[in-house]
Structure 1
Amino acid sequence: MSKTPFSEGITAGRLASAQIAENFGDLHPRLDDHEALVAADRCYFCHDAPCMTACPTDIDIPLFIRQIATGTPEAAARTILSQNILGGMCARVCPTETLCEEVCVREVAEGKPVEIGRLQRFATDTLMDSGVHPFERDAPTGKRVAVVGAGPAGLSAAHRLAMYGHDVTLYDARAKAGGLNEFGIAAYKSVDSFATREVDWLMQIGGITLETGKRLGGGLSLDQLKADFDAVFLGIGLGGVNALGVDGEDKDGIEAAVDFIADLRQSDDLTTLPIGRDVVVIGGGMTAVDAAVQAKLLGALNVSLVYRRGRDRMNASAFEQDLAASKGVRIVTNASPKAVIGNGTVREIEFEYTDDDLNPTGQVIRLQADQVFKAIGQTLEGEGLPALERGKIAVDGTGRSSVDGVWAGGDCATGGDDLTVTAVAEGRDAAEDIHAALSV
């Protein structure tokens, strides 16, 4: 949780509880039965479906949509979950507009794709609501695997390994499991404690023991884990936050966007969460957008999202950028922070305009700010890690690290995009390779 002191302009209760509840309602509400059938009927059920190729977890999208269309959403859910055990959360947070839905034949031909994400949510929610866990654990193998990090990659790996009969001990530094699904995404994308409920549902497979409050260098060492377990999977994410590297960064009122989002996600009453009058978010990714939008939804009067490159270079999708703009967030591009101005507490942020190659133009602007959120990337933290590459754990295509018996996946490892769905795929694939290695 953030411990940054608050300035006079940062206060709680800017909006009434009823307005807060409306602001933080479900971004994409679940389809009802009729809506799901209508949406499924739009699918062409392509034989060589481009949407499958675009899905990092290789879900058979035409099959699960056909199963919804024929009135068997539980079967559709099993199709989804066999490839992506966190299919419920991914249906809520995946940038489907740049993945499966972007290449949908309906999108290409008509500009309106099949609502794959919402159909996926309909199927997985239907199954989870039934209380049924569709997978059974194999006979115990006697093998023990340590999974460090209970985020998307670690949960995916743990479930697949437990399903194969291995005994899994799942460690996490925080007080509860879920990783970014629990602590790092906008509240309006995952309402009603869904992240917690999904973890509880996943754990029904059995064979997984969760130990919280433990991290590498804080109660765990890689050497000891290797000695105590037959294999180790690292899904520790990126715990550090990049610094702005400008004068005045140590002033009060400046904090990491991820801390703000975590505080918000764990709050029982959002009317008690302090927010500034003039908020500036620095960054251009999904975290930056989530922080900016939620600051506005909490009642900040002016919210500016500032990115050093152009809109076309932002990691946040066009949908996310448009969402921010629709909520009243001002997006300023091609501007890099130069200094934080204020007497102990931030009052203004000075930026210099740049070209797309980050060359300074000499033009300077100042934005009034009483609260600043940094969202310019995160860094890997941990002691005794395997060999690194570009600041992440170097792994091969199966997730094997430079240390024998140690695999890694998710944001902490080299590989694909830093997305929940990619982390799930990497955890699953590493678990398959671990199982193969333990079965020799």
Structure 2
Amino acid sequence: MDIKKNFAEIRADLKPKEVMEEANRCLFCYDAPCTKACPANIKVPSFIKKIASGNLKGAAKVIMEANPMGATCARICPAEELCEGACVLNDASLPIMIGDLQRHATNWAMKNREPLFQPGKPHGKTAAIVGSGPAGLSAARELARYGFKVTVYEKKDKAGGLDTYGIVPFRLPRTIPLWEVEQVENLGVAIHTNTEVGKDMQPETLISDFDVIVLAIGLSDVPLLGIPGEDLDGVLDAIQFIEKVKDGHLTDRFINKRAAVIGAGNTAIDAAACLKRLGAANVSIVYRRSEAEMTAYPSEYAFAKQEGIEFKWLIQPKRFIDNGLGHITGMECVRMKLADIDATERRRPVECENSEFRMDIDVVVRATGQSRYTSLVKVFGIENDHGIVKVNPETYQTSNPKVYAAGDVIFGNGGGEAMVVAAAEQGKKTARAIREQMLSRI
């Protein structure tokens, strides 16, 4: 088995003839519903018209102007639910392949390495960004274009956050988000990696040394399930597992293994697909609710089924079983049924009586959401709800007027969609609000 080949990008760029044919199918709608459906408000007809006329740099600039993560989002956005889903051609034939055209334009920009933007005229104001994921990089890029001197602090050894570490390589090769990082650095933004705020750099120092701070720390690892056996060898955290795969730590330890992934979101499907591509004999996704309540995108669900991943609905693990040598060999489960709708607006799962059974497995991956950096939020002394930072919805300003926040750190309790494109848009809006509030005094 060629494991590395299994992790090559699964979708190739369109051929030049296909690009022109697809671009010329566009109706270039004046009141474009595709643009309205894009959280970043990319002017879709504009960039497609530029592609059709051969102006690929212009097309890339339109895309990246609206979305600093435009190359990444061309690959991972649920286009069928956003821009392509709103295309007027859905009723007549097939929607324009907007995501593929966006990828083609940004691929040209990456290959030709032409600068797309310039830094703004300096005015002496400084900004610190904590976290270099989509929201942090987006805010950093825009602030640099507004003339701020920007410094980004990132605890990992590479910038890019979720895009660099948390999305499987066959969907998003690491070269893509690192090019987007480079676009930000080219504007004079200083990115300090291997620097953890709260450990290597204290929040009080940032608040003292900078005119404004943007908190864009994202989310942490998968929380424990709180059941016996989670410390056994073979019980993995989905976020850490995908990160190791993205780092190229591909091994043969999963070949012919029986694997289960707990959870039914997009990360769960990514983890399951990784296990399959690493040679697991069979991979099951185990979810305590039904198919109707799963949070993965429909396209992700369809992809998982094509990969041969089995779905086991209405099942909840109760205990991981030890082989006597510290390694997992099974999972004790119970069957569930759905009761009334709960706070998540989904039907609440409850245990069925006398429904215990055992699943024989060699590997299990927890993919039941992510925990929050609650302690770091508390150190900043800003208002929050169990780690979800409270912000002014118009300005993204926190309870400390000097501190703003964007991205997953403010997601939750109905606070928007947890998508890369949404985080990038929040970063842009945060930078815009900072400019309006701070530069109006100059």
For normalisation by structure 1, the TM-score amounts to 0.91
* 1:41 CA displacement: 2.1
* 1:273 CA displacement: 6.7
Match of 1:200 among 178, 182, 194: 182
Q: Distance in 2 between matches of 1:308 and 1:162?
A: 46
* 1:23 CA displacement: 2.0
Residue 120 (structure 2) pairs with residue 138 (structure 1): yes
Could you tell which deviates more after superposition, 380-389 or 430-439? 380-389
Match of 2:318 among 338, 360, 363: 338
Q: Distance in 2 between matches of 1:49 and 1:350?
A: 52
Describe how 1:96-175 pairs up with structure 2 within 5 A: 96-110=79-93, 112-175=94-157
Q: Distance in 2 between matches of 1:31 and 1:162?
A: 33
Q: Distance in 2 between matches of 1:306 and 1:55?
A: 32
Describe how 1:174-189 pairs up with structure 2 within 5 A: 174-189=156-171
Contact 2:284/2:311, CA 8 A, preserved across alignment: yes
Describe how 1:212-227 pairs up with structure 2 within 5 A: 212-227=193-208
Unpaired segments of 5 or more residues in structure 1?
1-14
Contact 2:254/2:275, CA 8 A, preserved across alignment: no
Match of 1:405 among 402, 405, 409: 402
Q: Distance in 1 between matches of 2:18 and 2:265?
A: 32
Describe how 1:29-428 pairs up with structure 2 within 5 A: 29-110=12-93, 112-191=94-173, 193-206=175-188, 208-267=189-248, 270-271=250-251, 277-342=257-322, 343=324, 344-356=326-338, 357-362=348-353, 363-381=355-373, 382-383=375-376, 384-385=379-380, 386-389=382-385, 391-397=387-393, 398-414=395-411, 415-428=415-428
Could you tell which deviates more after superposition, 165-174 or 391-400? 391-400
One-letter amino acid of the counterpart of residue 87, structure 1:
G
* 1:275 CA displacement: 5.9
One-letter amino acid of the counterpart of residue 50, structure 2:
Q
Q: Distance in 1 between matches of 2:159 and 2:193?
A: 8
Contact 2:234/2:327, CA 8 A, preserved across alignment: yes
* 1:364 CA displacement: 3.3
* 1:199 CA displacement: 1.5
* 1:201 CA displacement: 3.1
State the SS of the aligned residue for 1:339.
Answer: strand
One-letter amino acid of the counterpart of residue 174, structure 1:
K
Could you tell which deviates more after superposition, 98-107 or 139-148? 98-107
Could you tell which deviates more after superposition, 402-411 or 122-131? 122-131
Q: Distance in 2 between matches of 1:91 and 1:32?
A: 16
Q: Distance in 2 between matches of 1:369 and 1:226?
A: 50
Q: Distance in 1 between matches of 2:98 and 2:169?
A: 21
Q: Which has the higher contact order (CA 8 A, sep 6+)?
A: 1
One-letter amino acid of the counterpart of residue 119, structure 1:
L
Deviation per CA, 1:278-318, whole angstroms, max 9, x where unpaired?
11111111111110001101101111111222222222111
One-letter amino acid of the counterpart of residue 377, structure 1:
G
* 1:21 CA displacement: 3.7
Contact 2:140/2:184, CA 8 A, preserved across alignment: no
State the SS of the aligned residue for 1:347.
Answer: strand
Deviation per CA, 1:132-187, whole angstroms, max 9, x where unpaired?
11111111111110000011111111111111111111001101101011100011
Alpha-carbon RMSD across the aligned residues, in angstroms, is: 1.7
Q: Distance in 1 between matches of 2:333 and 2:33?
A: 42
Deviation per CA, 1:202-241, whole angstroms, max 9, x where unpaired?
32122x1111122232122222211110000011011142
Q: Distance in 2 between matches of 1:325 and 1:45?
A: 35
Change (3 A) 1:192 1:155: closer
Change (3 A) 1:349 1:436: same
One-letter amino acid of the counterpart of residue 424, structure 1:
A
Q: Distance in 2 between matches of 1:258 and 1:380?
A: 13
Q: Distance in 2 between matches of 1:165 and 1:32?
A: 39
* 1:272 CA displacement: 5.9
Q: Distance in 1 between matches of 2:292 and 2:392?
A: 30
Q: Distance in 2 between matches of 1:159 and 1:276?
A: 46
* 1:53 CA displacement: 1.8
* 1:67 CA displacement: 1.5
Q: Distance in 2 between matches of 1:22 and 1:106?
A: 36
Contact 2:241/2:271, CA 8 A, preserved across alignment: yes
Could you tell which deviates more after superposition, 347-356 or 142-151? 347-356
* 1:353 CA displacement: 2.1
Could you tell which deviates more after superposition, 123-132 or 176-185? 123-132
State the SS of the aligned residue for 1:337.
Answer: strand
Q: Distance in 2 between matches of 1:169 and 1:264?
A: 29
Q: Distance in 1 between matches of 2:362 and 2:436?
A: 54
For normalisation by structure 2, the TM-score amounts to 0.91
Q: Distance in 1 between matches of 2:201 and 2:386?
A: 24
State the SS of the aligned residue for 1:324.
Answer: helix
Q: Distance in 2 between matches of 1:372 and 1:138?
A: 50
Q: Distance in 2 between matches of 1:355 and 1:283?
A: 16
Q: Distance in 1 between matches of 2:403 and 2:36?
A: 29
Could you tell which deviates more after superposition, 289-298 or 30-39? 30-39
Could you tell which deviates more after superposition, 272-281 or 52-61? 272-281
* 1:116 CA displacement: 0.9
* 1:403 CA displacement: 1.2
Deviation per CA, 1:351-377, whole angstroms, max 9, x where unpaired?
222223202223334222111111101
Give the fraction of aligned pairs with identical amino acids, expressed as a percent.
37
Could you tell which deviates more after superposition, 429-438 or 256-265? 429-438
Could you tell which deviates more after superposition, 226-235 or 365-374? 365-374
